[in-house]
Amino acid sequence: MMKNATILARILAIVTVRETKATGTVTAKDTAAATAGTARGTATATVAPSTRQGRTEPPLASCPFSAMLISDGETENLLSRWYPRFARIPVPELAGARRAWRGPLQPLVIAGEVNTIISDLEANATVHFLDGGILHHDPECRRHHSDLWYAGQLRRMDVRFEIVLVDFGPDPHPQVFSVRPEISTRTYPTHPHLRLDKIARIDSKELPALCTYFTTDGSLPQGNLMLARALDFASIYLAKHLVWLRTATLMAFRPGCPPQEIARDSGLALHSPFCNGNPNPRWVGHWPGPVTPHGAAEMLKAIHPSAECSCGSRKAYRQCCRSAHEAARRHAAEVTSRQVLAQLYVNPARKGEHR
């Protein structure tokens, strides 16, 4: 009986810990409020014990009881506690979706902290959260913040996003969608971090999920904090998205020529008319901090066959998407080979034009 009580107390202590991370690995600690709102967690670069009221608990990612903590009611209670403006909505058209919420995220609203927060994200350092997903600079930070080369371009960073969070149950990872401003291939054709394998129909539009973290590295373990933590990752993602957008430059790519800058204006939409008449135009921007692998070849190189699959199913990679990625890599190699061979032969119809 005493052993069971000890285990239960340990589980309850772990549930109270708030944890998340900027790029992949989970950590947490509660902090005192240093500005408007209630500070209640951190994002940082390394796995570390979580501290609360003088006690140290292991991170939830390594907790053997994490699977026992999953409860639909409790996950929703914790989501409401840290994201009170998110409300339940009808489940959008998306395979396997069970529940959905909609609400605002505005990660960069604290005057004077934008540059230091972005600097921390660049360095994969600690970033605190206030309720509602507002990013807050660690008041105890002693790290030197070097000047950002793009600091002068970080204007109008206090953008408010309307977000839809979709839950698939205790096993698959939740997915996040940006409804307004819309983040999709329609609005940002060359966006580097969209999940085109997760498409939901929301407000009569097909929207891709945001690639907010790398599922393979254990960033989002199962547990009652899973949904709230998914929005933490979304808040960090949106801050990085704004940096990418503000630093975007429209480039033209011509065969055999160096890229040519066409336009540099953070106010332009990425489907701008500047694209017309220019060969292979593409917006190129800066994404702060470490970047997760994308594409079949990178996935095959980065993910161990026994590791969790990158699609978010929580299955082993070898039992899920590895075979599809291998097929995609073979196809890409064949296309490249055909393109190289095509360069070696002259079109018979134009043969007389070559001397």
Residue 302, pLDDT score: 84
Residue ranges in the chain whose pLDDT is less than 70: 1-70, 263-280, 338-355
Q: Determine the 3-state secondary structure of 7 from DSSP.
A: helix
According to the model, what pLDDT value does residue 251 have? 77
> In Å, what is the CA distance from 301 to each residue of 2, 59, 174, 216, 298?
48, 28, 25, 13, 5
Report yes or no on 350 lying in a domain. Answer: no
**Residues 70 and 168 grouped into a single domain:** yes
CA gap 1, 61 in Å, rounded: 27
Of 245, 269, 296, which marks where a domain is finished? 245
pTM across the whole model: 0.73
For residues 127 and 78, state if they share a domain.
yes
66/119 same-domain check: yes
Same domain, 34 and 158: yes
Rg from Cα positions in the chain: 23
Whether residue 311 contacts residue 321, with contact meaning beta carbons closer than 8 Å, is answered with: yes
Sign of CA dihedral 334, 340, 345, 349: positive
β-sheet bridge partners, residue 161? 105
Check whether residue 288 and residue 331 sit in a common domain.
Answer: yes
- Confirm whether 20 is domain-assigned: no
Closest CA to 167 of 85, 252, 225, 108: 225
Same domain, 291 and 311: yes
Amino acid at 127: V
Secondary structure E strands in the chain: 20-21, 39-44, 50-52, 55-57, 87-88, 99-105, 127-130, 134-136, 161-167, 175-180, 194-202, 205-210, 249-252, 260-263, 281-284
Which of the listed residues 211, 226, 245 is the one where a domain comes to its end?
245
One domain, residues 101 and 178: yes
205 and 278 within one domain: no
Token output for 119: 């600097």
Does 109 share its domain with 256?
no
For the segment 240-260, what is each residue's pLDDT rounded down to a tens digit?
999 999 998 877 777 777 777
Report if residue 8 sits inside a domain: no
337 and 310: one domain? Answer: yes
Kindly state whether residue 22 falls inside one of the protein's structural domains. no
Domain-ending residue, one of 197, 212, 245: 245
Strands 194-202 and 175-180 turn out to be unpaired
Tokens representing 163? 């977000």
CA–CA distance, 130 with 55 (Å, rounded to integer): 22
Same domain, 91 and 125: yes
- Residue 165's DSSP bridge partners are 101, 176
Q: Please tell me whether residues 112 and 235 are part of one structural domain.
A: yes
Count: domains in the chain: 2
Which residue range is the domain that position 238 belongs to? 29-245
Q: Determine, yes or no, domain membership for 263.
A: yes
